[in-house]
C-alpha cells in the first residue's frame, strides 16, 4: 500500500474513534439501539468515503507511476540517442583521422619511391659519367701516344722536305737553263707569257667575284626595292585608288543632290549602310560619285542610285527596296556571266557555286585585262596544247578556265589567289588535276601533274599577247626587235631570240670566243644595256647558252 492509502486508513480510524467517543458521551441521553444505529450509519458512510478516497489514491498513484515510468523511458531514450550521436561523431573523427594518416602515409611512400628513383637515376648518371671519363682518359692517353709518333714523323718529314727543297732549287736552276736553251725565250718573254696566263686566270676569278657581288647586290636591292615601292605607293596610291575605285552616276539637276541627301542626311546614311559604298556629293556638276574598293558593291550601288534618280522617289524605305532589287539583279547578272564563260570555254558540269564565282571575275581586271575574258582565253589555249600533246582536252580546258578562280574572293579571304583557288577546287569536288593546276600554275616545281605546266604556258601567252595589256602590235614588235639587236651587238654572240612575248631573251654564243666565266659577265652586261636603253613591262630574263659540239661521221 502507498503512503496515501495509509493516510486514508488512519483518518478512517480516527473518525471511528471520534464516533465511539461521541456515542459514549451520549449514552446517557439516547438508548443503546439508537446509538448503535447511528454508529452503524456513520461507520458505513466512513467506509464508503474511505473506499472512494482509496480508489482515487490508487488511480492517482497509477497515474504518477505511469508518468514517472514515461519520464524515465524518455530520459533513457534521450541518453541513448545522445550516446549514439556522440559515438557516431567519434567514429567519424576517427575515420577522418585514419584517412588523413593513410593519405600522409601514401604521400610519404610516393616521396620515398621518387627519392629512390632519383637516387637510382643519379647513380646511373654518375656511373655513365665515370665510364665516359674513363673512356676519355684512355682516348687522351692513346692520342698522346699518337701525337708523339706524329711529332717524330713530322720532324723526319721536315728534314726530308728541306733536303728535297735544296734538290729542287738545284733542279729548277738546271730547268731554267735548259728552258732558255730549248725555247729560245728571254726572261722578259717568259714573264710576259706567265702574265698572260695570269690575266686569263684573273678574268675567271673576276667573273666569279662578279657573280657573288651580283647575288649580294640582288639581296640588297630587294630590301631597298621594298622601301622604294612603299614610298611610291604612298605618293601615287591616292590617284590610282581613285581611278579604280570610283564610279560616276549622272543626275538630271543639282536639286537632285539635296533629295539624295534627304532631311538631316537620312537618305544618304541609309544608302551607304545598305550598299556598303561611300556616296560622295561635291561640287561636280550634275554628277555624284560612288567610292568603294569592292567593284560588285559599287556596281550594285550604281544600279540602285540610277533607278532612284530616274524614279524620283527617294526615302529610306524606297532605298532599301531598290537596293535589294539591285542586289538580286546583280546576282542574276553574275550567274549569267559565269554561264556565258562556261559555254564559251566549252566546259560543262561546273557546280553552281563555281559558276557564280566565275561571274564575279567579270568585275576584276589585271593591267587593264578583264580576268574572266583572260580565263576563257587560257581555257582555249590550254585545250589546244593538251590536244596536241595527247592529254585530256576537256580536263585541260576546265583547269584553264578555273586557274584564277581564287581572284574572285581574294579580297575577302586571306591568302594568295592560288591557295584560295586550290581550296575552292577541293571544296567543290574538282578533279585532282584541276586542283593541281589552280594551286601550282605559278609554282611549277610543286606541280604533281602536267596540267599546271600547260596552264602556266597558256597564262603567259594570254597575258603577254599584243593588245592584252594595253600594248599595241607596233610597240610590241619594236620591243622584240630591240631586244635582239642589243644582244647581237655584243662580241661573241652568234644568235639571239626574243621568246615568251619579250619576257626572255635567249642568246647563243660562240664557244671558242666566250668561255663559261665570260658568259656570266656577258649576261650581266646585256641585262644592264637593256635596262638603260629600253622600256618594258615586268622584267626580261637574259639567258646565255654556250654549247660545244664535236661532230664526226662514220663511213
Single out the residue in 137, 169, 197 at which a domain terminates.
Answer: 137
- Residues 498 and 539 grouped into a single domain: yes
Single out the residue in 331, 364, 388 at which a domain terminates.
Answer: 331
Single out the residue in 464, 483, 500 at which a domain terminates.
Answer: 464
3-state secondary structure at position 365 = strand
Q: Is residue 160 part of a domain?
A: no
- Residues 362 and 458 grouped into a single domain: yes
pLDDT at 311: 80
Q: Is residue 177 part of a domain?
A: no
> CATH number, domain at 398?
1.10.3210.10
Strand 365-366 relative to strand 246-250: parallel, antiparallel, unpaired?
unpaired
| Alpha helices per DSSP H over 312-416 | 316-345, 352-360, 371-389, 393-402
> CATH number, domain at 296?
3.30.1370.10
pLDDT at 398: 92
- The alpha carbon torsion through 268, 273, 276, 279 (nearest 10 deg) reads 10
pLDDT at 36: 66
Phi–psi pair at 74, nearest 5 degrees: -65, -45
What is the 3-class SS of 100-124, one letter each residue?
HHHHHHHHHHHHHHHHHHHHHHHHH
Q: Is residue 167 part of a domain?
A: no
Residues in a beta bridge with 542: 505
Q: Is residue 172 part of a domain?
A: no
The total of structural domains in the chain comes to 4
- Residues 458 and 497 grouped into a single domain: no
Q: Is residue 207 part of a domain?
A: no
Is the pTM of the predicted complex or chain greater than 0.75?
A: no
Q: Is residue 517 part of a domain?
A: yes
With DSSP H G I counted as helix, E B as strand and the rest as coil, what are the percentages for the chain, rounded to 5? 75, 5, 20
- Residues 297 and 388 grouped into a single domain: no
Phi–psi pair at 496, nearest 5 degrees: -145, 145
- DSSP state at residue 26: T
- Residues 352 and 325 grouped into a single domain: no
- Residues 443 and 317 grouped into a single domain: no
> CATH number, domain at 534?
3.30.300.20
Contacts for 210 with CB less than 8 Å, ≥ 6 apart: 520, 521, 524
Q: Is residue 9 part of a domain?
A: yes
Q: Is residue 73 part of a domain?
A: yes
458: closest CA among 520, 391, 525, 399?
Answer: 399
- Domain span holding position 376: 346-464
- Residues 95 and 11 grouped into a single domain: yes
In tens, the pLDDT along 136-174 reads 888 888 877 888 887 888 888 888 888 877 887 777 677
- Residues 76 and 14 grouped into a single domain: yes
- Residues 377 and 282 grouped into a single domain: no
Share of the chain above pLDDT 90, in %: 3
DSSP H or E segment with residue 457 = helix 451-464
- Residues 445 and 365 grouped into a single domain: yes
- Residues 369 and 456 grouped into a single domain: yes
pLDDT, averaged in runs of 10, over the chain (555 residues): 63 67 59 66 77 77 78 82 84 84 85 86 84 82 80 82 79 66 62 69 68 73 66 49 67 81 84 84 78 82 86 84 88 89 89 88 76 89 89 90 87 84 90 90 86 88 59 67 88 85 84 82 88 77 83 75
CA distance linking residue 297 with residue 292, whole number of Å: 7
- Residues 409 and 456 grouped into a single domain: yes
CA distance linking residue 455 with residue 381, whole number of Å: 8
Amino acid at each position: 500500500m502507498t503512503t496515501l492509502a495509509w493516510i486514508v486508513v488512519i483518518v478512517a480510524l480516527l473518525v471511528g474513534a471520534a464516533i465511539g467517543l461521541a456515542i459514549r458521551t451520549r449514552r446517557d441521553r439516547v438508548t443503546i439501539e439508537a446509538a448503535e444505529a447511528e454508529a452503524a450509519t456513520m461507520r458505513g458512510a466512513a467506509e464508503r468515503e474511505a473506499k472512494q478516497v482509496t480508489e482515487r489514491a490508487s488511480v492517482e498513484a497509477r497515474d504518477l507511476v505511469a508518468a514517472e515510468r514515461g519520464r524515465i523511458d524518455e530520459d533513457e531514450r534521450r541518453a541513448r540517442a545522445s550516446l549514439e550521436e556522440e559515438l557516431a561523431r567519434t567514429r567519424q573523427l576517427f575515420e577522418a583521422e585514419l584517412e588523413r594518416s593513410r593519405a600522409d602515409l601514401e604521400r610519404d611512400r610516393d616521396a620515398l619511391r621518387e627519392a629512390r628513383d632519383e637516387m637510382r637515376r643519379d647513380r646511373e648518371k654518375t656511373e655513365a659519367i665515370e665510364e665516359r671519363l674513363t673512356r676519355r682518359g684512355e682516348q687522351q692517353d692513346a692520342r698522346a701516344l699518337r701525337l708523339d709518333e706524329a711529332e717524330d714523323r713530322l720532324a723526319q718529314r721536315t728534314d726530308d722536305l728541306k733536303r728535297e727543297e735544296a734538290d729542287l732549287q738545284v733542279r729548277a736552276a738546271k730547268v731554267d737553263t735548259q728552258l732558255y736553251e730549248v725555247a729560245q725565250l728571254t726572261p722578259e718573254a717568259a714573264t710576259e707569257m706567265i702574265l698572260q696566263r695570269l690575266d686569263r686566270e684573273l678574268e675567271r676569278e673576276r667573273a666569279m667575284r662578279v657573280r657573288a657581288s651580283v647575288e649580294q647586290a640582288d639581296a640588297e636591292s630587294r630590301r631597298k626595292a621594298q622601301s622604294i615601292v612603299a614610298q611610291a605607293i604612298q605618293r601615287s596610291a591616292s590617284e590610282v585608288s581613285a581611278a579604280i575605285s570610283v564610279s560616276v552616276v549622272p543626275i538630271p539637276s543639282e536639286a537632285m543632290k539635296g533629295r539624295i541627301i534627304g532631311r538631316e542626311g537620312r537618305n544618304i546614311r541609309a544608302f551607304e549602310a545598305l550598299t556598303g559604298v561611300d556616296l560622295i556629293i561635291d561640287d561636280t556638276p550634275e554628277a555624284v560619285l560612288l567610292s568603294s574598293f569592292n567593284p560588285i558593291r559599287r556596281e550594285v550601288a550604281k544600279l540602285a542610285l540610277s533607278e532612284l534618280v530616274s524614279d524620283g522617289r527617294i526615302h529610306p524605305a524606297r532605298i532599301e527596296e531598290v537596293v535589294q532589287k539591285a542586289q538580286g539583279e546583280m546576282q542574276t547578272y553574275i550567274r549569267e556571266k559565269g554561264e556565258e564563260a562556261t559555254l564559251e570555254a566549252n566546259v560543262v558540269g561546273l557546280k553552281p557555286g563555281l559558276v557564280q564565282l566565275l561571274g564575279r571575275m567579270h568585275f576584276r581586271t589585271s593591267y587593264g585585262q578583264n580576268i574572266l575574258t583572260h580565263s576563257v582565253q587560257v581555257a582555249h589555249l590550254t585545250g589546244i596544247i593538251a590536244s596536241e600533246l595527247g592529254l585530256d582536252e576537256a580536263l585541260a580546258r576546265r583547269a584553264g578556265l578555273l586557274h584564277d578562280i581564287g581572284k574572285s574572293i581574294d579580297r575577302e579571304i586571306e591568302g594568295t589567289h592560288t591557295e584560295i583557288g586550290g581550296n575552292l577546287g577541293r571544296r567543290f569536288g574538282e578533279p585532282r588535276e584541276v586542283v593541281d593546276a589552280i594551286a601550282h600554275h605559278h609554282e611549277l616545281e610543286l606541280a604533281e601533274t602536267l596540267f599546271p605546266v600547260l596552264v602556266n604556258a597558256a597564262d603567259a601567252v594570254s597575258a603577254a599577247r599584243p593588245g592584252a595589256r594595253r600594248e599595241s602590235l607596233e610597240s610590241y614588235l619594236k620591243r622584240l626587235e630591240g631586244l635582239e639587236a642589243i644582244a647581237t651587238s655584243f662580241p661573241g654572240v652568234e644568235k639571239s631570240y626574243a621568246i615568251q612575248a619579250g619576257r626572255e631573251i635567249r642568246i647563243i654564243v660562240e664557244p671558242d670566243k666566250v668561255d663559261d666565266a665570260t658568259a656570266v659577265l656577258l649576261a650581266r652586261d646585256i641585262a644592264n644595256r637593256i635596262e638603260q636603253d629600253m622600256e618594258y613591262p615586268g622584267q626580261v630574263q637574259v639567258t646565255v647558252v654556250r654549247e660545244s659540239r664535236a661532230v664526226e661521221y662514220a663511213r
